[in-house]
Each structure stands twice: as structure tokens, then as C-alpha cells.
Amino acid sequence: MLSNRRRFLAQLSSVAATNAIMADERPSVLNPRATDGDERHEPKWDDVFSVTVANRDADLNGSSERVLQAAVDLVAARGGGIVRLLPGKWVLRAAVILRSGVRLAGSGADTLITRGPSETIAVSADSDWYDQEITLAKRGSLRPGDGIALMAKDPATGRQTVIKRTVVARSGTRFKLNDGLRENLWLTSSPTCSTLFPLLTAEYAQDVVIENLTLDGNRSNTENFNGNYGGCIFLQDCNRFTMRKVEARNYNGDGVSFQICHDVVVEDCWSHGNADLGVHPGSGSQRPLIVRNRLEENNLGLFWCWGVKYGLAEDNRMLNNRSYGVSIGHNDTDNVMRNNFVSGSGRVGILFRDDSRGQDFWANRNLVEKNTIVNSGGDDGVAIDVQGHTRDVQLIGNVIREDRGAAQRIGIRLGKDSHRITMTDNQVAGLQNEIVDLRTDSAVRSE
């Protein structure tokens, strides 16, 4: 009986292995047809439905978010296609919400999407989580159609609440919202209403392209908006988005941020002058592709958030970011950073964060290969800093250089709890120490 059971299990294993091989060797789709429900393979059509948008003399004309939203919704309602933004300027009072299957194509630097100054007003009456209205201390400049962010902080726990909504109606200082609060907004948490929003945003959308346009967040006239909720571009729970040749600048927050979004491509973009992060692959995002971008003069260039896996950052230029060129940490595993140029970082060129709140939350199994890292931090700056219990990281063929004098600067620093860090063919010049290994309290001085 036991022998027969073993043979049966062996047969099952063999069948499973055979099926796996067959699944991996399915024939390639060489001549796709439009098939109902098949979202993976689509023919490349010579012509698709499109709508032109401009300030005048186009299919749809205007200079606010309303005309942009109308164009996006029209194309989406037709099953997808292209919104062609001609040269012009659009000043937003609310985010433009992107829809599945829409390509938003601008005319380069001549297509400018921006916003006016922000305003913050105190909430003056309690609202419960099921309410769909708020009362403010004054009307301010708010009007129906405006995008807002309601923010509060629990005085006991410090927990912050952020609720993004759109104003749809008003009577005096009472404002109806497009959706219920779904959070208590009580005066004990000192709630406020701010006219803050992403410029372009999407939730639960897929197969979208944003290309060849300029986004300006009017940073000097707006308050900061956390990159988990906003940015020049902000995506939540989306799939297969491509951002190409987009300039994202001057946002009081992030340039590009996407949270729990998979197979996102950011290529040939320029994210600069933003208060926080240049590109922010956010929590849980799988397989991001970040290539040939310029991430300049942000607080931080490329920020791998929590649980970002199987991503590639290659051929990017990260220049003069005020804190870090690259930061990677909490459960960000199995990523590759290759052939990037990281220069003038205010503190550290590439930081492996010490995210010590869990049993194994470090940035393990990442490859850092053939990057050039120049002039990192102040007199005690570090080019590559591997902190915490980070393990199984490969640092291969990187060039680390300091042009300002050795001072107390360090090429590679390995934290005392890091382990299985592979270092091969790295070149370090101009720093006091090539390697500081806190695991063994040793240092290799640079020649």
C-alpha cells in the first residue's frame, strides 16, 4: 500500500512538472486578433479614435481640468484611444482622472498642465465617517468642482487621516462631497480642508500612457502634499501604466508616485525641483521599470518604498538631490539598479535603509551593478551605505569617486548586522576609506 502511494505521488509530481514546462513553452502570439476579453494581446492598429484638445481651435477647447477630463472620459467611453493635447496651458482646480485604455499625448514643452495657489481652511463642525458633507470656518475660494484634501491627526495616537474628495455642491460654508468620508472627521483632531490634489491621477485603471507633456506643481504657492496621496502624477492600484518623456517639476511633494501598481514604466522623464521624491515606486508595486530618466534637485531621487520587488532602474541620472540619490528599504527585494549616474547627493548616494520594525523587512537580494557614484554627502558622506540586517546584496563593478577631497568620506559602509554582502570589481578613488566594515570594525583606506 505504501509503495503504491509513493508511486502515485511521484506520478503527480511528474505530471505537475510536465505541465509547468508546457506552460512556459506556449507558442508566441505572432498575429494577434482583437478578441473579446483578451486584455493581454492587441493588434497594432494604423488608426484609433482620438480627440484633440487645445485652448482654442481643437475638437475640445478650454484651459481648465474640465476640458481635459471631458476628453479623457469621451475617449474612454468609446473603448479607448488617444487624447492629443496641442500646445497650450491648462490651470487645474482638481486632478484629471485618467481612465483605462487612454493615451494622453502632449506636444512636449509647449503642453503645460499646472495649478493655482492652494488654500487651507479649518473644519468647523464634527462629521462622522458616514457623512458626505463638511462645514468649514469660512467659504474661502472653494467652489463646486474643486479637488480637496481633508487632513486630521488623532491627538491620542498621532494617526494621520487624509481624505481626498471633490466638492460637488455648496450652501454657505457647508460643502457636499462626491463621496462619503469613510473616516471620522472630529474637531478633537483639528481637521483642515486644503485645495491639494495630484495633477494627473488614476485608481483601478490599466493600460494607460502619459507622454510628451509638462507638469508644473506651482510649488512656491502650494502646501506640501504627502507622496502617498499626491504628486504631479499619482497612481493607486493600477496596472500597466507608461510615463514617457514627461517633465514633472515644482510639485510640493513627489514628482511621480505610484502605490500598489504593477508593471509601471517610467522612461525618458525629467522629474526635478520637487519638494520630496523624484520617482516613488510605492508600497507593494511589482516589476517597475525606471529607465533613462533625469531625477534632479528633488529631496530624494529614486525612493523604493515598501515591498517593491522585481524592478529595474537603469541608465538614470540622479543629480544634486538634497538627501539621497537612491533609497531602498522595507522588504524591497530582488531589484536591479544598473548603470545609473548618481552625483551630488546631499547625504548618501545609495542608501539601504534600516527598516527594523519586523523580523525580516530589509532590502535583501538586490543587485547594484556598474553605477557611477560621485561626490556624496558632506565631509562624512557615504557613497553606498548598507544598514540594518540587509543581506544577500551584490555590489558589482561600481565606480565611486570623490572630487572634493578625501575628508572623512567613505566609499562603501557595511552595517554591523548586514551579512552576505558581495563586493566585486568596485573602483573607489578620492575618499578617505574605500570600505568601512562595521561587522569587523575594519576599514580599507583609499589610495
Is 70 exceeded by the pLDDT of residue 445? no
What is the reported pLDDT for 23?
A: 52
- Over residues 203-250, the pLDDT tens digits come to 999 999 999 999 999 999 999 999 999 999 999 999 999 999 999 999
In this chain, the answer to whether the domains covering 120-194 and 197-445 adopt an identical fold is: no
CATH C-level class of 197-445: mainly beta
Is 90 exceeded by the pLDDT of residue 301? yes
Question: What global pTM score does this model have?
Answer: 0.92
Containing 75, the helix (H) or strand (E) segment is helix 65-77
Is 90 exceeded by the pLDDT of residue 110? yes
For 155, other C-beta atoms within 10 Å of its C-beta total 10
CB–CB of 284/306 below 8 Å? Answer: yes
Q: What is the DSSP string of 111-170?
A: EEEEE----EEEB-S-B-TT--EEEBS--TT--TT-EEEEEEE-TTT--EEEEEEEEEEE
Domain extents for the chain? 120-194, 197-445
Percent residues over pLDDT 70 in the chain: 94
Give the C-alpha separation, 72 to 51, whole Å.
Answer: 9
Give the C-alpha separation, 182 to 130, whole Å.
Answer: 6
**226 DSSP 8-state letter:** -
Is 80 exceeded by the pLDDT of residue 443? no
Out of 152-156, 288-292, 307-311, pick the least confident.
152-156
CATH C-level class of 120-194: mainly beta
Q: What angle do CA 316, 323, 301 make, to 5 degrees?
A: 25
On average, the pLDDT of the chain sits at: 93
Is 90 exceeded by the pLDDT of residue 22? no
What is the reported pLDDT for 66?
A: 98
Out of 23-37, 155-169, 245-259, pick the least confident.
23-37
Containing 16, the helix (H) or strand (E) segment is helix 2-24
Is 80 exceeded by the pLDDT of residue 2? no
Is 80 exceeded by the pLDDT of residue 12? no
pLDDT interval class at 149 (50, 70, 90)? very high
What is the reported pLDDT for 354?
A: 96
- Over residues 385-437, the pLDDT tens digits come to 999 999 999 999 999 999 999 999 999 999 999 999 999 999 999 999 999 99
Ramachandran assignment for 34, one of left (phi > 0), alpha (psi -120 to 50 degrees), beta (any other):
beta
- Over residues 345-388, the pLDDT tens digits come to 999 999 999 987 778 899 999 999 999 999 999 999 999 999 99
Give the C-alpha separation, 122 to 116, whole Å.
Answer: 20
